[in-house]
A and B are shown apart, each in its own frame.
Chain A
Amino acid sequence: MNLPPRAPSMRYADRIHTKLTQALAPVTLIVDDQSAAHAGHGGAAPGGETHFEVTVVSTAFAGKSRVARQRLVYDILKDELAERVHALSLKTLTPEEVAQG
């Protein structure tokens, strides 16, 4: 007997969204999968989900340097980076910085 295929595990975009929401309680969170634009070159893979652009606005970044902010995000997403995500372009801002424009 052939069993139907399993439901695909949660998509990476959703995993990224869920983990960042839980860890940073962001005011704004945009997870943009740009894999299609990178298809066919370094790090791209069939099925996409390799290149993401993420914008996070969170009070968790207050008082932290740019490097410290990105390290925080990389650490939250270390499994995703290790498993599949090849490129993660980040915008990390505090609500105050957004208000200042």
Chain B
Amino acid sequence: MDKTVEERIRRDITENDVVLYMKGTPVFPQCGFSAAVVQVLSHLGVKFKGIDILVDPALRQGIKEFTNWPTIPQLYVKGEFLGGCDIVRDMYESGELVQLLAEKGIAAQAAA
């Protein structure tokens, strides 16, 4: 993998508590799976950095290699890979996501 891409990923997931690698932007997601994760995070009022991999082919390939995960979206919390859409959705529904965010000291409101 391109060294600059790897460094950029490391920097992004270190400098931001919650990072979502996605297709499109949080305001205009370009894929239903990315949109679903945005919806969960927004619903919980979690501040996150959305990174659109569609505008950067090197990053699009690079993030898959970096995480060893073949699909987008990918959610990182405090520098750790949490999962893709299925995992985020499962953890949200079971309440584990709110719990994990609380443990990591990230502001979120429990789903109403």
Contacts and interface: CB of A to CB of B under 8 A. Distances in A.
Contact of B70 (A38, A42, A43, A81): A81
Interface string B83-102: 11111001100000000000
B86 A42 contact: no
**Chain B: number of interface residues, binned into ranges:** 10 to 19
Given A71-B69, A74-B69, A42 B87 contact: no
Contacts of B33: 87, 89
B71 A87 contact: yes
Interface residues of A, number: 15
A71 B33 CA distance: 18
Interface in A73-101: 74, 78, 81, 87-91
Given A42-B31, A71-B69, A66 B85 contact: no
Interface string B11-55: 000000000000100000011110000000000000000000000
A34 B47 CA distance: 32
Contact of B83 (A66, A81, A87, A89): A66
Interface in B56-105: 68-71, 81-87, 90-91
A71 B68 contact: yes
Interface of B: 23, 30-33, 68-71, 81-87, 90-91
Interface of A: 38, 42-43, 66-67, 70-71, 74, 78, 81, 87-91
